[in-house]
Amino acid sequence: MRKDTLSKVVFLCLLTFCFACRAKKEVAPPVASVPSVVNSKTASIKAITENAFNFKTLSAKAKIDFKFNNQSNGASLNLRMRNKEVIWMSITAIAGIEVARVMITPDSIKVHNRLQGEYLAKPFNFISQYSSRAIDFNILQNLLVGNATQGAVTEASEIHVTGSETAVKTAINGLMYELVFNDIYKLTENKLRDSKDQQLTALYSNFQALNGRNLPYAVSMLSNAGNKNVRIDIKYSSVSVNEPVDFPFSVPKRFTVKD
C-alpha cells in the first residue's frame, strides 16, 4: 500500500469509523432474553432497551477492508474503549507495522500518523467538517457497539412491527434515524441522515453471545457525502469486555504538529 494512499485511508477510516464494531470469546447461540413477538409500542421499547449491549470497558481486534471511491485497502484494527470516556484505535498495515494511532474523548480527537511522523490534535467537533454537527461522542460509541442512540427509541418514535422485524423512525437534533431490529431486538440496520442529505448506514450481522448479551461480529459502514463514497467492512477475531485496559498515546518528539 502506498504511503499517500494509506494516509488517506487512515484519516478517512477515522472519520467514517466515527461509526462501527464487533466481538469475541465464545461462539455461542444468540441470547434471546425476551419473546420473539412484541405487540405494543411500550413492549417494543422495553425489549430494545433491555437487549442493548452494556459494558464498562471493551477491547477488540479485527480485520478491516476500506473502500474509498471504489479503491480498496486492507488493514488490522486494535480497538479499546471505556464507556462514555475514551475510544482508542491502533491501525496496522498488513506487514504488521502500526501506521496510525487514534484517541477520541468527548472533548477531543488526537491522531498519530506514524507513516509521515505527524500529530493532529483537534476538538471533537472537528469531525463536523466531514459529518453532521449532531454527531457526538455518545452517538459514536453507540454506533460502535450496535446500540440505538439514546433517545432514538421512545414513545414519540414511529414504531412498526412486521413479522420478526421492528422498524423505528425518529428525529433527534437534526438527525433522522431509521432503525431496524431483528427478532432478538438487536439493531441490524442504523441509517442516519441530516438536513444536507449526508447519509451514514451501519449494517450489523452475525450476532454472538458475549457477557450475557449479543454483539454483532460483522459490521459494514457506508458513508455518502457529496462525491465521497466510503465503506468499511469489519471482521473481528476477538473481543473482551469489562477487563483492565490502557490507552497508550505518547507523542514522539520527532513528530510534526499538524494544524
- Say yes or no to pLDDT of 5 above 90: no
Facing residues of 86 across strands? 82
CA dihedral 63, 236, 144, 14 (to 10 degrees): -10
242 pLDDT more than 70: yes
3-class secondary structure per residue, 202-252 = EEEEEEEEECCEEEEEEEEEEEEECCEEEEEEEEEEEEEECCCCCCCCCCC
The mean pLDDT of the chain is: 82
Q: Which three cell numbers stand for residue 62?
A: 479485527
**All three cell numbers of 96:** 504488521
Tell me how crowded residue 34 is: count the other CB atoms within 10 A of its CB: 16
Q: Could you tell me which residues come within 8 angstroms of residue 123 by beta carbon, excluding any fewer than 6 positions away?
A: 107, 108, 109
Pick among 1.20.1300.10, 3.40.50.720, 2.50.20.10, 3.90.650.10: CATH of 3-258: 2.50.20.10
Q: Tell how strand 228-241 and strand 108-113 pair up.
A: unpaired
Q: What is the DSSP pairing of strand 256-258 with strand 118-123?
A: parallel
Percent of the chain, pLDDT > 90?
A: 46
Domain segments of the chain as ranges: 3-258
The H or E element that residue 6 is part of is helix 3-17
**Share above pLDDT 70 across residues of the chain, in percent, rounded to a whole number:** 80
**SS3 state at 168:** strand
CB atoms within 10 A of CB 75: 20
Residue 103 has pLDDT above 50, yes or no: yes
* 37 pLDDT tier (thresholds 50, 70, 90): very low
> What are the phi and psi torsion angles at 128 (to 5°)?
-65, -15
Residues 134, 137, 138, 139: what is their CA dihedral angle, to the nearest 10 degrees?
50
C-alpha to C-alpha distance for 107 and 198, rounded to whole angstroms: 23
pLDDT number for residue 125: 84
What's the confidence (pLDDT) of residue 129?
A: 64
Q: Which of the pair, 167 or 175, is modelled with greater confidence? A: 167
Backbone phi, psi, residue 19, to 5°: 170, 100
Terminal-residue alpha carbon distance, the chain: 26
Say how far residue 197 (Cα) sits from the centre of its chain.
20
- Residue 6 — very low, low, confident or very high, per pLDDT cuts 50/70/90? very low
Judged by average pLDDT, the poorest of 48-62, 132-146, 228-242 is: 132-146
The CA distance from 140 to 129, in Å, is: 16
Using pLDDT thresholds of 50, 70 and 90, give the confidence band for residue 67: confident
Phi and psi for 165 in degrees, rounded to 5?
-110, 145
